[in-house]
């Protein structure tokens, strides 16, 4: 038979274990609270590295309005254009990495800039790619009422007349130029024989095509929608693997016989790599929910934007893959700046 002393010792031991467990729980709760402080507690600056009025700017303002209301803190959109997106991006990377200066990123300010610059001002490692808001194809565009009714018409003409092809682009190292190069490779045309006409973006490019000043333009579907609906531009093919909801009657390049050419215009949120993980997680979680909210997706439709959320891992994989492809094209065709 056990003595009273044994049971007394057992009870004291049990109380000690419970006390330690309680202290440990308090310590863990305190540690968790310290690891993930409240966010946001003050206004956030969302930097758009392009001029007002473009697709990334408009989508960013929709994001700022939605999440600002959700979080109860103002998100101020600030446009800092210049140097192909480098000016705005660097302003975010040199700010305090506390999550209160955030980048509205896109392919031009990341993949195109990093692949085309001999001495890029930052690297992909400097950015934490949190998630996408928009991920949509480009569309091959020609003047309405002209000789090209299908992508096959354009392919055949370019093969016979490569020196007569003019296309508009913002520069040698732009996603649009890379897409044109890949298309020409696919149909067996030497890129060195065609002519690029520089412009400052969609506001320059689309009138150039509609006016017959260039034969071809490659523009994201959002930017192209207005003049296509107005009957001034004819869309020949989209650069995605499936048709765009904005242009359901327009085939993909693959459906038109152009193989292995896929590109997209994406717009998303990035933080400096040193920003707290809890902040990145909060943005990612909020964006995932946002892209499922009918109110937000309806807003995107009014902007002719094709929303798609890719999480950080998917987003990073997409950018790394594109960057590798574009860097190889820059080397092959000596497109570096």
Per-residue pLDDT reduced to its tens digit, 19-58? 434 444 444 434 444 557 899 999 999 999 988 888 899 9
* Whole-number Å distance between alpha carbons of 144 and 227: 10
DSSP secondary structure code for residue 256 in this structure: G
Query: CA 276 to CA 70: how far, in whole Å?
Result: 20
| pTM score of the predicted model | 0.84
Nearest to 59 by CA among 296, 239, 219: 296
| Structural domains of the chain, ranges and CATH numbers in brackets | 44-135+265-333 (3.40.190.150), 137-256 (3.40.190.10)
Is the Cβ–Cβ distance between 25 and 56 less than 8 Å?
no
E-state strands within 64-209: 75-79, 101-106, 127-143, 166-169, 195-198
Residues of the chain with pLDDT under 50: 1-33
The per-residue pLDDT for 12 is 40
Q: So what's the pLDDT on residue 168? A: 95
The predicted structure's pLDDT at residue 200 = 82
pLDDT of residue 53: 83
Q: What is the pLDDT of residue 35?
A: 57
Give residues with Cβ within 8 angstroms of 8, minimum separation 6. Answer: none
DSSP string, 157-189: HHHH-GGG-EEEES-TTSHHHHHHHHHHHHHT-
Quick one: pLDDT at residue 202? Answer: 83
């Amino acid at each position: 038979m056990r003595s009273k002393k044994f049971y007394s010792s057992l009870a004291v031991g049990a109380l000690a274990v419970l006390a330690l467990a309680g202290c440990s729980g308090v310590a863990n709760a305190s540690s968790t609270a310290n690891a993930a402080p409240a966010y946001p507690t003050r206004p956030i600056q969302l930097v758009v590295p392009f001029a007002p009025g473009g697709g990334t700017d408009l989508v960013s303002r929709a994001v700022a309005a939605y999440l600002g209301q959700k979080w109860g803190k103002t998100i101020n959109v600030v446009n800092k254009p210049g140097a192909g997106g480098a000016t705005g991006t660097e302003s975010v990377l040199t700010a305090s990495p506390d999550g209160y200066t955030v980048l509205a990123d896109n392919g031009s300010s990341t993949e195109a800039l990093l692949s085309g610059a001999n001495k890029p001002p930052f690297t992909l490692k400097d950015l934490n790619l949190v998630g996408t808001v928009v991920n949509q194809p480009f569309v091959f565009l020609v003047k309405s009422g002209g000789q090209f009714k299908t992508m096959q018409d354009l392919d055949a003409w370019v093969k016979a007349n490569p020196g007569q092809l003019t296309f508009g682009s913002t520069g040698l190292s732009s996603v649009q130029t890379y897409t044109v190069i890949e298309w020409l490779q696919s149909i067996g045309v030497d890129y060195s024989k065609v002519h690029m006409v520089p412009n400052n973006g969609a506001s320059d490019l689309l009138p150039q095509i509609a006016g017959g000043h260039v034969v071809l333009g490659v523009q994201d579907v959002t930017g192209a929608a207005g003049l296509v609906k107005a009957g001034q531009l004819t869309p020949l093919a989209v650069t995605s693997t499936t048709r765009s909801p904005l242009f359901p009657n327009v085939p993909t390049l693959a459906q038109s016989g152009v193989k292995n050419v896929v590109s997209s215009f994406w717009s998303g949120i990035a933080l400096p790599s040193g920003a707290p993980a809890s902040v990145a997680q909060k943005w990612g979680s909020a964006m995932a929910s946002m892209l499922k909210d009918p109110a937000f997706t309806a807003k995107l439709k009014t902007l002719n934007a094709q929303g798609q959320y890719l999480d950080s891992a998917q987003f990073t994989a997409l950018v790394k893959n594109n960057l590798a492809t574009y860097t190889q094209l820059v080397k092959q065709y000596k497109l570096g700046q």
